[in-house]
Structures are given as C-alpha cells and as structure tokens.
Homo-oligomer: A and B are copies of this chain.
Amino acid sequence: MNFEYSRTQIDLINTLTSTLKKFDDDYWLKCDVEGNFPEVFFKAMAKGGWLGVALPEEYGGSHLGIVDTAIMMMNIAKKGGMTAASSIHMNIFGPSSLVKYASERQKKEWLPQIISGKTKMCFAVTEPDSGLDTSRIKTKATKSGNHYVINGRKIWTSAAQVAKKIMILTRTSPRKNDNPTEGLSLFFTDFDKKKIETKIIEKMGRHAVDSNLLFIDDFNVPINHLIGEEGKGFKYILDSLNPERILVAAEAIGIAENALDRAVSYAKERKVFNIPIGKNQSIQHPLATGWAQLEAAKLMMFKAANLYDSNLSCGLEANAAKYLAAEVGMEICKHAVATHGGMGYAKEYHVERLFREMMIPYLAPVSQQLILCYIAERALGLAKSY
C-alpha cells in the first residue's frame, strides 16, 4: 500500500495552483452574482493545456489517468468551487466516449478543438420524465437518407448557452422490456440554436454555468455524427459513469476543503466574549470531525480512481466516494456557514455560495439513495428494493 502523491502529481498541483492563484475570491463571487460564464478562467485552463489532461497525446492531450484528473478537479474546486469545476467539467470528462468509440476521423476533427478550448461542449442525456431511469428517454432520432432527424426534450443540460457542440443520447428503436437499454444512440454534433430552443433553469446556485431545458425540433444530424454503432449508446455512456462519479466526488471534496479552510480562518480571527470563537469545542469539533471524514472520503475517491486506472472493477468505490464526499461536504458547508454566524449568510464571506454549490454533487449525477441501493445489492448481496 501507498497513499502518497507521486513527485509528478505534486508538480501537477504546483503548476495548477500558480494558474489558479490568478483568480481570486471576488472573481468567483462576481461570476455567481452576475451569472456570467467564467470565460477568462476557461481560456486560462485551455492555454495551460488542462482541458486535454485526460485525452490522448496524439490529439494534443496529456493522457493522464483518472487519479491525476481527480487531483486536478479537486484543486480547481478547492479554489473556485463548482463554478470553476463545472465550467470545464464537460470538456474534461465528456469526450471519454469519443476517445473510446468515435472513429479516427471523428476524433481528429473534434478532439483538438475540445482540447484547445475552441469548442465548448454540452451533454444532453436526462429528460424531464425519465429521471434516473435512462432507459425511458423519449427523444427520438429517425434516420432519413444521410442524416437523422431528432425530436424531443432534454433537461439539466449544462452550458448549453455557451456550447458549440452537443453530445446527445436518443432512441433509435423502441424500448423493449427485456432489454430496455438497447436501441439508444449517441451523437456528437454542432449545437444548432435554430433547431434547439434553450430555456435556462433558474436554480439555487452555480449561476455562472447555465443549466437548461432543451426543446429539440426537427434537428437534422448527419449520419457521420453518430458515435460508434446505432443502438449502442447506453453502453458507451455506462463506461463513463464511474469516472464521472469519481470526478464529482473529487469536486465535492474540493468545495468542502474550500469551505473548511474559510471556517477555520474565521474561527481563528473572530473573537466573541474576548476569545477566538475557534477555541470553543462547539465550533472546533464539528470542523475536526469534518476534516477526518473528508480525508477518509478522499482516500475512498483515490482508491476508486486507482482501481479505474488499473482497469479493475471500481463501481463500489466510485459510488461510495460520491456518497461519502457529498454527505461530509454538506455537513462541512453547513458548519462553515454556522461558524461564520450571521456573516455566513452574507455573500461576501463565500461560504453560503459553496453551500449552495455543494448541493449539486449531493443531488447528481445519481442520488444518495440509489447509491445505497447499489451498495446494498453489490457489496452486501441484498435484494433489489425498488
């Protein structure tokens, strides 16, 4: 066993940190208050080569594994919260299906643009009525000559307002009860604002990275924008579920570290009844508990990432990491606000923003409850409950 960062990983963190330093708290606060995409940050990430961190070198990427990518996303969230992480999350994590399943020609055309940051992409999977049961999506792609015609509605598509490309999951043949995930197909294509109407979902936090309803109406997609084989789209997406959970856990951990650091600093400086409030066990013990649980969640996240990079089964660990990180993250953010007393409610102390952002990894990409079902079934061998 070995739980330490390698020399290369420490270098990666140091290089990243020097870029992140250029974006101070006010930058992220302003993005959130004004609801503007953190464009300058995005460009700095692109320029530093960070967007291609997990992509093959032949297209301009660095071909690092999920462990390194998690280290990166954790440190980004530790500085800029979910605002920072979400602004690049899809460019980092989205193309993995392309790498595995797109044709050489497609990859050559698409990946360099994603890596260079010229193209922002969005991902349209979830639908209003399907919830967590992806097999029930209804958006249909009908083949017609050398293109498909897509119609349907998508929800919770992030960054659709700024994206040039869209990855979209559709039904190309009807749902069968005995094989419900067969017949879904995945496309990667230009985001045509004439055929895809977007409606921003006003939400609790992360105002800088838009979330959207998409109304897709007779949207023509060339057949050479289909990824891999028709009908295999669910499988392609499944492959990326575990890395997604690992990265979301890493982001949750970063946000929690951000909030914990602020709480600790405030607890040291703020005096009430003539002593720093952090001298009170009622202030310091919840933070200490948070620290211990967070470090443990981080170990689980790295274990999952490590298994993934070793091509070993990592579903239990990836799910456990997302679960643990989200639970302790919510607690830390709550205590970080409470540590600040009334000032915790003021935007200028930043912890309320992190609290609102932490709710994202708590809710997505899968609910805490479904993770517990997964663990109960797969780790403990108990019966399916739903």
Tell me, yes or no, whether A18 is within 8 Å of chain B by CB. no
Tell me, yes or no, whether A40 is within 8 Å of chain B by CB. no
- Give the number of copies in the complex: 4
Given contacts A1-B4, A375-B288, contact A341 B367 (CB under 8 A): yes
User: Once bound together, how far apart are the Cα atoms of A330 and B386, in whole Å?
Assistant: 28
Contacts of A302 in B (CB 8 A): 1, 3
Tell me, yes or no, whether A295 is within 8 Å of chain B by CB. yes
Given contacts A133-B273, A288-B372, A372-B289, contact A359 B380 (CB under 8 A): no
Contacts of A360 in B (CB 8 A): 345
Q: Which of A18-34 contact B (CB under 8 A)?
A: 33
Name, among A291, A295, A296, the residue most crowded by chain B CB atoms within 10 Å (CB to CB): A296
Residue-wise, chain A 330-356 has the 8 Å CB interface mask toward B (1 for contact) of: 100010011001101111100010011
User: Once bound together, how far apart are the Cα atoms of A234 and B279, in whole Å?
Assistant: 27
B341 touches A376 (CB 8 A): no
Q: Kindly report which residue of chain B lies nearest to residue A204, judged by CB atoms.
A: B352
A295 touches B288 (CB 8 A): no
Contacts of A362 in B (CB 8 A): 338
Tell me, yes or no, whether A219 is within 8 Å of chain B by CB. no
B385 touches A67 (CB 8 A): no
Tell me, yes or no, whether A268 is within 8 Å of chain B by CB. yes
User: Once bound together, how far apart are the Cα atoms of A317 and B298, in whole Å?
Assistant: 13
Residue-wise, chain A 260-303 has the 8 Å CB interface mask toward B (1 for contact) of: 00001001101011011011111111011101110111011011
Of the residues B6, B33, B306, B356, contact of A202 by C-beta under 8 Å: B33
Tell me, yes or no, whether A379 is within 8 Å of chain B by CB. yes
Contacts of A367 in B (CB 8 A): 338, 341
Tell me, yes or no, whether A382 is within 8 Å of chain B by CB. yes
User: Once bound together, how far apart are the Cα atoms of A297 and B380, in whole Å?
Assistant: 18
B373 touches A281 (CB 8 A): yes
In whole Å, how far is A344's beta carbon from the nearest beta carbon of chain B? 6
Tell me, yes or no, whether A126 is within 8 Å of chain B by CB. yes
User: Once bound together, how far apart are the Cα atoms of A279 and B280, in whole Å?
Assistant: 11
User: Once bound together, how far apart are the Cα atoms of A281 and B382, in whole Å?
Assistant: 10
Tell me, yes or no, whether A238 is within 8 Å of chain B by CB. no
In whole Å, how far is A342's beta carbon from the nearest beta carbon of chain B? 5
Contacts of A355 in B (CB 8 A): 204
Tell me, yes or no, whether A13 is within 8 Å of chain B by CB. no
B338 touches A363 (CB 8 A): yes
Contacts of A284 in B (CB 8 A): 372-373, 376, 380, 382, 385
A347 touches B202 (CB 8 A): yes
Q: Which of A357-386 contact B (CB under 8 A)?
A: 359-360, 362-364, 367-369, 372-373, 375-376, 379-386
User: Once bound together, how far apart are the Cα atoms of A226 and B324, in whole Å?
Assistant: 48
User: Once bound together, how far apart are the Cα atoms of A291 and B267, in whole Å?
Assistant: 27
User: Once bound together, how far apart are the Cα atoms of A323 and B276, in whole Å?
Assistant: 23
Q: Kindly report which residue of chain B lies nearest to residue A5, judged by CB atoms.
A: B1
User: Once bound together, how far apart are the Cα atoms of A372 and B276, in whole Å?
Assistant: 18
A363 touches B337 (CB 8 A): yes
Smallest CB-CB A-B distances: 9 pairs: A296-B296, A299-B299, A204-B352, A281-B281, A284-B376, A288-B375, A282-B369, A292-B320, A131-B272
A-B contact pairs, 9 of them (CB 8 A): A1-B2, A1-B302, A126-B342, A133-B273, A203-B352, A278-B376, A285-B369, A292-B320, A345-B360
